Structures are given as C-alpha cells and as structure tokens.
Structure 1
Amino acid sequence: MNINLGQLSRTELEVLAKDIKARMVELEKENKERAYTEMLAIAAKYEVSFQAVVDKFGKPTKKSTSKGVPRYANPNDPSQTWTGRGRRPTWLTEAVQSGIPIEVFEVKP
C-alpha cells in the first residue's frame, strides 16, 4: 500500500494519524492475546500453571520505601510534616526566614 503523503491535506493527515494510532493499539492487544494463549499452552505442556511460572520468574514487585519519621511539624497544621530529608517545605522556609528558629518545629518523641 503506497500513500503519497505529499498530496494529503492537514485534515486528511490527522485522520490518517488517528487511524494509525488506533490500529497500533488494536495490534498490540491482539499480540498480547496471542502471546498469552501461547504461554498458557506451553505451561500446560509442562503440566504447570501459568501463574506458578509467573510467580517464580516474574518481576518482583517493588517494595514501598518508607518516607521516614517526621522530624518537623507545622504547629498551625500538624498534617504538614518534614523528615529533614529532601527539599525544605515552603511553610518551614517562610517561618525560618521570618526569624523563628527551626528548633521550634521539631517533633518531640
């Protein structure tokens, strides 16, 4: 199939681009379905469940990392806290710039 893009208007090109994107999504879905069906057949051939194979060799799930224990809290809004790592929050920066010592905001254990 040969399409002379130079002869198409902007509107025709946009329609063509939209059709191409839709077809690519459709093809990806078809390929995933085909691959899944083949993987199920291979697992059945070796008399194991597909889920057992995925569990053993699949990518491990990413464990959530702790954000740390809050070291500073906003007395006006206790839900605003800071661990002391990363960028200093605006509420704390503004308070320190106005002359309030940072120690005032420390969370006591």
Structure 2
Amino acid sequence: MDLSTLDFSALLQLRTDVDAEIRRRESEEKAKAAKQVMELIRTHGLDLQELATKSVKAVATATRKPVDAKYRHPDDASLSWTGRGRKPLWVVTWLDAGRSLDELLIK
C-alpha cells in the first residue's frame, strides 16, 4: 500500500481503522493468553490464589536495600551522596570550585 497516494481524510480513516484493529487483536491476544494460563494451572494442579500470593511476596523481597553514602560534604555532614545517579548540586558546586571528588570520599 502506497500511503503517498491517499488523501488526508483517507489517511485519518486508515489510522482510525488501524487503531480499532489493534485494540481488537490486543483483546483477542489477552483472552488467548488467559486461556493458556488457566489450562496450565488446571494441568499442573496449581492454586491461582497461592500463585498470586507467592508472586506478591517475590516482588516484596526483590526490593533493593538503600546504598550507603560514598561522599560527604566536609563542612555539613547532612550532605551526602551515594555516588549513583545525578550529582547533587552541592557536589557540582564543589567540583566547579576546582576541588576534587576524592576530597569528599567517606573514609
């Protein structure tokens, strides 16, 4: 299909039709997947409630523990940074002043 041959209104209609077909197929795929899951549950004698509980527990135990600070401001102990992610403003200011990040290392 050569889209360049379609006029604007035809393109808009095509987009509407494509979006509707995508929603329809997504619904079909979800229903098919749910049916397969239920068949597996029945085949293996699993309890859906038990699976859901185990899944929630697995997510809860997968949470990360906080990372210890690696850098601390020498004049203000309340300013610390783990060294991960974006540098805090106080670190950027420190570095812009020509100071070294090594000076902030917690020993």
Contact 1:70 1:81 in 2 (8 A): yes
1:96 aligns to 2:88 (yes or no) = no
Select the structure that is richer in helix.
2
Corresponding letter in the other structure for 2:31: E
TM-score normalised to structure 1 length:
0.53
Q: How far did 1:16 drift?
A: 1.0
- In 2, Cα distance between the equivalents of 1:6 and 1:92? 54
Q: Give unmatched runs, 5+ long, in structure 2.
A: none
Contact 1:39 1:50 in 2 (8 A): no
Superposition RMSD on alpha carbons, in Å?
4.0
Match 1:49 to one of 47, 53, 56: 47
1:11 aligns to 2:9 (yes or no) = yes
Q: Give unmatched runs, 5+ long, in structure 1.
A: none
Q: How far did 1:9 drift?
A: 0.8
- In 1, Cα distance between the equivalents of 2:42 and 2:82? 51
1:21 aligns to 2:19 (yes or no) = yes
Q: Deviations over 1:21-68 (max 9, x none)?
A: 232122112221133124324433554334657888xxx759344452
What is the percentage of aligned positions where both structures have the same residue? 24
Q: Paired residues, what number?
A: 99
Corresponding letter in the other structure for 2:67: G
- In 2, Cα distance between the equivalents of 1:5 and 1:99? 58
Q: How far did 1:91 drift?
A: 2.6
Contact 1:70 1:84 in 2 (8 A): yes
Cα distance, 1:36–1:7 mapped onto 2, change above 3 Å = same
